[in-house]
Amino acid sequence: MDLAYTAEEQAFREEVRVFLDEKVSDELRAKARGEASLSKQDMEDWHATLNEKGWLAQNWPKKFGGAEWNAVQRHIFEEEAAMANAPRIIPFGLAMLAPVLQKFGSKEQQDHYLPRILSGEDWWCQGYSEPGAGSDLASLKTKAVRDGDHYVVNGQKTWTTLGQHANWIFCLVRTDSDVKQQEGISFLLIDMDTPGIEVRPIILLDGTHEVNEVFFDDVRVPVENLVGEENKGWTYAKYLLTHERTNIAGVGFSQAGLDTVKRMARAEMSGGRPLIENPHFMARVAQVEIDLMAMSTTNLRIVSQAAAGSAPGVEASMLKVKGTIIRQEINDLARRAAGPYAMPFASEAIEGDNDPIGPDYATAVSPHYFNNRKLSIFGGSNEIQRGIIAKVKMGG
């Protein structure tokens, strides 16, 4: 047992810190904290900045132009990036599609799509969930029927994150309805400019446009856009899920969030004293911090196993559940800390056209509190995660 990072790891952390300090502007930090919204351009610029340094494709093998960081390095970067309020890396192309292409894609697909993900030429979104297929993803109904050199796709995807910016979508589609649900699914790459595709915004409860519905009406997709084999899509999707799960615990986000809560508690006054001296509020903060300290170590235990080559299994589900509970609790603390200034809905202030209504730190606390209810819903809801844990651990 040794809780310390190695000298190399510490040097790496220092390098990351210096880089972030130089590259993340104050404006970008404020936006990433939620005091204003990140534009598509902001996100693309941040990708370009990382790509220039060779730090964009962190988990890709070197032969595909990646940094080939191990799990500890990725963890260090994620922690530092969250603490620095750097914009997050948009995962759809880089962390979700790319590992699938690298493992199951054809040489042509790898040569064509991977460089375009790095350069930012393509923005990918994910076509998984459907109105009737959420937690029960395998029941998806969007259909792809072979017609000569094409598949003809009909159906609807939903909760498509940042689909409004995307020019490509990777989809799970049903190619065989006569077999067990999981065995009739294929993995298709679809150009969003193809006739028959319509993207409609879904406005979330905090007023943001983050997710979309995507409709497919006789959309013709060339057969060479099939990844791997027909009807093997479920296998690829499951592989993708194991790779999606870096940073699943969101330790860095929680640490940054807790810092913000303490900053707020120092500034807010209650009964003539700073809120940070209020025992009831601070008991809540302490409780979360204690949970976070333990989870952070759980996370490192799993990260170092992964660095040694073992794939995270049920532990990832545990981290997802505990990590989201902690993040949501911190969102709740921030909302409480803001007092009456949690009530304004200052969309113009969030858009950056106006001064904040109360203290700057209060602007986004309530929208974030509500928006981050999604953390325990998406990417396999916490109920689904608990089901997985029970199933694996009880050996049922």
Partner 1 sequence: MDFQLTEERQMLQDTLRRFLSDRYTTTVRNEIIESDTGLSADIWSELAELGVIGALFSEDDGGFGGAGFDLTTVFEELGRAGVVEPILDTAILGGGLLVALGNDAQKALVEDIVGGGLHLAFAHGEPTSRYDLNRVETTAKQQGDQIVLNGRKAVVVNAEAAGQLIVSARESGAAGDESGISLFLVPADAAGVSMRGYPLLAGGRAAEIVLDEVKVGPDARLGAAGDAYPAILDVVARANVALSAEALGAMETATELTREYLMTRKQFGRPIGTFQALAHRFSDMLIELEQARSAVINAAGHLAEGATLRDRHIASTRNLIGRVGRLVAEESIQMHGGIAMTQEYELAHIAKRIVMTDHRFGDTDYHLERFIALSAA
Looking only at the bridges linking them, the beta strands covering 168-174 and 124-127 are parallel
Q: Give min distance, CB of 37 to partner 1, in A.
A: 16
Q: Find the binder of partner 1 among 79, 122, 130, 268 (CB under 8 A).
A: 268
Q: Give min distance, CB of 94 to partner 1, in A.
A: 24
Q: Find the binder of partner 1 among 374, 380, 385, 388 (CB under 8 A).
A: 374
Q: Does 357 bind partner 1 (CB under 8 A)?
A: yes
Of 203-242, binders to partner 1 (CB under 8 A) are 203-207
The H or E element spanning position 233 is: helix 233-244
| Rounded-to-integer distance, Cα 327 and Cα 257, Å | 8
Q: Residue 214's beta-bridge partner residues?
A: 157, 199
Q: Give min distance, CB of 197 to partner 1, in A.
A: 21
| Rounded-to-integer distance, Cα 266 and Cα 358, Å | 15
| Rounded-to-integer distance, Cα 87 and Cα 28, Å | 7
Q: Give min distance, CB of 282 to partner 1, in A.
A: 10
Q: How many residues bind partner 1 (CB under 8 A)?
A: 55
| Rounded-to-integer distance, Cα 307 and Cα 95, Å | 17
- Over the window 74 to 113, marking each residue x when it contacts partner 1 by CB under 8 A and - when it does not, the resulting string is ----------------------------------------
Assess contact for 251 and 292: CB atoms under 8 A: yes
Q: Give min distance, CB of 346 to partner 1, in A.
A: 6
Whole-Å CA distances, 265 to 105, 109, 339 = 51, 52, 10
Of 277-316, binders to partner 1 (CB under 8 A) are 278, 280-281, 284
Choose between 11 and 269: whose C-beta lies nearer to partner 1: 269
Q: Find the binder of partner 1 among 340, 353, 394, 396 (CB under 8 A).
A: 340
Choose between 9 and 291: whose C-beta lies nearer to partner 1: 291
Q: Find the binder of partner 1 among 366, 380, 385, 389 (CB under 8 A).
A: 366
Choose between 93 and 134: whose C-beta lies nearer to partner 1: 134
Q: Give min distance, CB of 300 to partner 1, in A.
A: 28
| Rounded-to-integer distance, Cα 277 and Cα 269, Å | 9
Q: Find the binder of partner 1 among 30, 199, 223, 346 (CB under 8 A).
A: 346
Query: Exposed/middle/buried for 252, CB within 10 Å: 0-12, 13-18, 19+?
Result: buried
Choose between 92 and 151: whose C-beta lies nearer to partner 1: 92
Q: Could you tell me the two tokens for 332?
A: 């709740």
Choose between 150 and 263: whose C-beta lies nearer to partner 1: 263
**Residue of 78, 80, 244, 329 marked active site:** 244
Q: Does 341 bind partner 1 (CB under 8 A)?
A: yes
Assess contact for 101 and 227: CB atoms under 8 A: yes
Choose between 243 and 374: whose C-beta lies nearer to partner 1: 374
Concatenated DSSP letters of 257-300: HHHHHHHHHHH-EETTEEGGG-HHHHHHHHHHHHHHHHHHHHHH
User: Active-site residue 244, yes or no?
Assistant: yes
Grouping H, G, I as helix, E, B as strand and the rest as coil, residue 302 is helix
Neighbours of 11 (CB within 10 A): 11
Q: Which of 246, 89, 103, 241 is nearest to 172 (CA)?
A: 241
- Over the window 151 to 180, marking each residue x when it contacts partner 1 by CB under 8 A and - when it does not, the resulting string is -------xx---------------------
Q: Does 386 bind partner 1 (CB under 8 A)?
A: yes
Q: Does 345 bind partner 1 (CB under 8 A)?
A: yes
The H or E element spanning position 79 is: helix 71-83
Grouping H, G, I as helix, E, B as strand and the rest as coil, residue 113 is helix
Choose between 196 and 358: whose C-beta lies nearer to partner 1: 358
Of 113-152, binders to partner 1 (CB under 8 A) are 129, 132, 134-136, 139
Q: Does 269 bind partner 1 (CB under 8 A)?
A: yes
The one-letter code for the residue type at 364 is A
Assess contact for 262 and 276: CB atoms under 8 A: yes
Assess contact for 123 and 168: CB atoms under 8 A: yes
Write out the catalytic residue numbers.
244
Kindly list the residues in this chain that would bind partner 1 in the complex (CB under 8 A).
Answer: 129, 132, 134-136, 139, 158-159, 202-207, 268-272, 278, 280-281, 284, 328, 332, 335-336, 338-348, 357-358, 366-367, 369-371, 373-374, 376-378, 381-383, 386-387
